[in-house]
Structure 1
Amino acid sequence: MDHLKAVLGFLHLPHRGSATPLEAQASQRLKAFLEGQGVPVRVVPFRGVRSYGPELLLISLLLGLAPVSPVLPLLGALGFFLYFNGWRPWGFLLDRHPSQNLLAWKGQGEKALVLLAHVDTAKTFFLYHPKRVRLFRANFLLNAFLAFLSPLLALTPLKWPLGLYFLLQAALLLHRELSAPYVEGGNDNGSGVAVATALFLETEPPEGWRLGLALTGCEEVGALGAKALLPHLPPGALVLNLDNVGQGELFYAEGEGMLLYHPYRGALLEAARKTPGAKPLRYRLAYFDTLPLTQRGVPCLSLIRLQGGVPPDWHWPTDTFARLDKGALEATLAYTRALLRRVWANG
């Protein structure tokens, strides 16, 4: 059976928006497929949000109210710092929509390696337009610079243009919430789910090892599925994450972080450095599901394909299944096979 093709077929829905019924439908299809292959699957339910927009909108509003009081942009700057480092202490107020992770295991042993990929898709936004997306990182750094300066600028006449800048962002985020569609998500991340699932089904772990498959929800809204997965990972488990691997040139991330940088460590990273077929990358563009894991000491590695420094069709309506490169998928699968062999050979 062509597992890559089968999994992509199950994921081919209008979208798989975070914590939406279509995300749940995709997970149900994957669960039925895996169980049809004789693999027991555990569903790990949790609650999340359907978009990151409301949180960023509130942060932008606080920053935009600099002319009113310096206290409000101080709160906005704190919220900006927390959110873009993966911390949402307010999440218990917002996480109301049901989502789920799928978790499956093969083999016996004290050592564990988990293949990770997120099922959900994101809403689009004007910043992801192909003519603007290469400036995404620069735009983020500008926002971070202004956000962290905002409590001081609120004490100067510059509070007026600063406030207008962030209020305009809040208006754009509100427009996104009201009108922007979820993308189909062939590359992000149907490709990663297909490769992870195919690798899991086609691989028998050696003696002393367990091989896991974790298909998460709500990655696009703060890696919430990965956070819910944490209690279910065995101590010392290695985690190999696959995200946006259906087009472009293959890279392995050596670490990640939009603000604070978190280097990866462990056997997967060491194996990737010795396995031909992928280039090293310090990933600062966004976050992976591995961010909350590596923040807590889990040894991780993420694989991604890029074109011009960004994932192809990233969060744009052109991210369809029809645009996937079968050769890129098969090459990613071949690379991950070689990576796992090297990890297991090194014990």
Structure 2
Amino acid sequence: MNPTLVRVLELLRLPHRGSATPLEAEAFRRLRAFLEGEGYPVQTLPFKGVRSYGPELMGISLLLALAPLSPFFPLLGALAFFLYFSGHRPWGFLLDRFPSQNLLLWKGEGPRALLLLAHVDTAKTFFLYHPKRVSGFRRQFLLNALLAALAPFLALTPWAWAVGAYFLVQAGLLLHRELTAPYVEGGNDNGSGVAVATALFLEATPPPGFRLGLALTGCEEVGALGAKALLPHLPPGTLVLNLDNVGRGALFYAEGEGMLLYHPYRGPLLEAARTLEGARPLRYRLAYFDALPLAQRGFPCLTLIRLEGGVPPDWHWPTDTFARLDPGALEATLAYARALLARVFASGGGPSGGRPGSSPPWVG
């Protein structure tokens, strides 16, 4: 396997890299030392985040559970539900108190910028991610969204007690998760993406007129907080290639994403992906990526992901270990991402052009 892939995976091999935890900080320390050892100045961008999304979802569930008392509380809960799952946390300043960080580095000079993006942190597990249940994750989410939307109206009917009980049980399950669930090791999610993005950054030389960047983010698993903190540091119009869960399964390129509102991607990376063999298109509605807050603000984005049976392999489950990564999948993802960069660089960052699969001499 590519030596850089091996090296980065070894650096990330910790019990976990939970969002805004000391082990996430240790992973960043190792990555920074490695990149500086390769001769690159690394910018550390600190920010404050949370260690789990559980408390926020518990609060939303408890507001919805108060439907039997008044329509006011479930109205607040429904609003908070739709804000949160659309990528907005207006209450975040009250909760974000644990230190996290992003690493950002660039090479090359020019007015165009292309950024390789991957998150470092790992998530806590939950019973919904059990291999026998995870295929129904999207259906469960849509049921919650429907009941949250109806809760203010059902509060005026005898159904208020049933809705309240449903969300009270959900709050209890989330509390149990907070108290007992471990963080996963995160070989696939997202050690694989960090390794591929880092290897590609180190091997690629951008042509004149281009800057190539690498951003390794924290706190993706708790609301893409690292990507949001990254926004002020990106040149306008930066092309963003996000790599997430690329260590096993069939390769897809996401054409857009959104758990509730769908945000289509656009730009040269997407155009290039549509002309290359090796990955299938995907409208990603299962969860969110670090690309979401960037796409919402107009940055041209593309995400690469590998799926098995419609979901990431071992998604947020204790079986997501480094031992279960597929070296062939990692190598193939690196080759596909390399071809994407070659196509975009050859086109000057405009509409895709050139012969499929061709690589100019500055890539590879």
Q: What is the TM-score normalised by the length of structure 1? A: 1.00
Deviation at 1:235, TM superposition (A): 1.1
Which amino acid counterpart does residue 37 of structure 2 have in structure 1?
G
**Partner of 1:98 in structure 2?**
99
**Partner of 2:358 in structure 1?**
none
Q: Say yes or no: does 1:57 pair with 2:58.
A: yes
SS at match of 1:252: strand
**Partner of 2:362 in structure 1?**
none
Which amino acid counterpart does residue 35 of structure 1 have in structure 2?
E
**Partner of 2:323 in structure 1?**
322
**Partner of 1:234 in structure 2?**
235
**Partner of 1:169 in structure 2?**
170
SS at match of 1:89: coil
SS at match of 1:112: strand
CA offsets, 1:277-336, max 9 Å, x none?
100000000000011000000110000000000000000000000000000000000000
Deviation at 1:106, TM superposition (A): 0.6
**Partner of 1:203 in structure 2?**
204
Deviation at 1:275, TM superposition (A): 1.1
Give identity over the alignment, percent. 80
**Partner of 2:82 in structure 1?**
81
Alignment of 1:273-312 (within 5 A): 273-312=274-313
Distance in structure 1 (CA, Å) of the matches to 2:342 and 2:145: 41
Which amino acid counterpart does residue 63 of structure 1 have in structure 2?
L
Which amino acid counterpart does residue 62 of structure 1 have in structure 2?
L
Deviation at 1:15, TM superposition (A): 0.2
Deviation at 1:13, TM superposition (A): 0.2
**Partner of 2:354 in structure 1?**
none
CA offsets, 1:95-119, max 9 Å, x none?
0000000001011111000000000
Distance in structure 2 (CA, Å) of the matches to 1:114 and 1:53: 31
Q: CA RMSD in A?
A: 0.5
Alignment of 1:96-245 (within 5 A): 96-245=97-246
Distance in structure 1 (CA, Å) of the matches to 2:276 and 2:44: 33
**Stretches of structure 1 lacking an aligned partner (at least 5 in a row):** none
What is the number of residues matched between the two proteins? Answer: 347
Deviation at 1:3, TM superposition (A): 0.1
**Stretches of structure 2 lacking an aligned partner (at least 5 in a row):** 349-364
Distance in structure 2 (CA, Å) of the matches to 1:342 and 1:276: 12
**Partner of 2:342 in structure 1?**
341
CA offsets, 1:174-233, max 9 Å, x none?
000000000000000000000000000010001110000000000000000000000000
Which amino acid counterpart does residue 175 of structure 1 have in structure 2?
H
SS at match of 2:274: helix
Distance in structure 2 (CA, Å) of the matches to 1:55 and 1:78: 13
Alignment of 1:39-50 (within 5 A): 39-50=40-51
Distance in structure 2 (CA, Å) of the matches to 1:251 and 1:38: 33
Deviation at 1:55, TM superposition (A): 0.2
Deviation at 1:236, TM superposition (A): 1.0
Give the ranges of 4+ consecutive aligned residues of structure 1 lying more than 2 Å apart after TM superposition. none
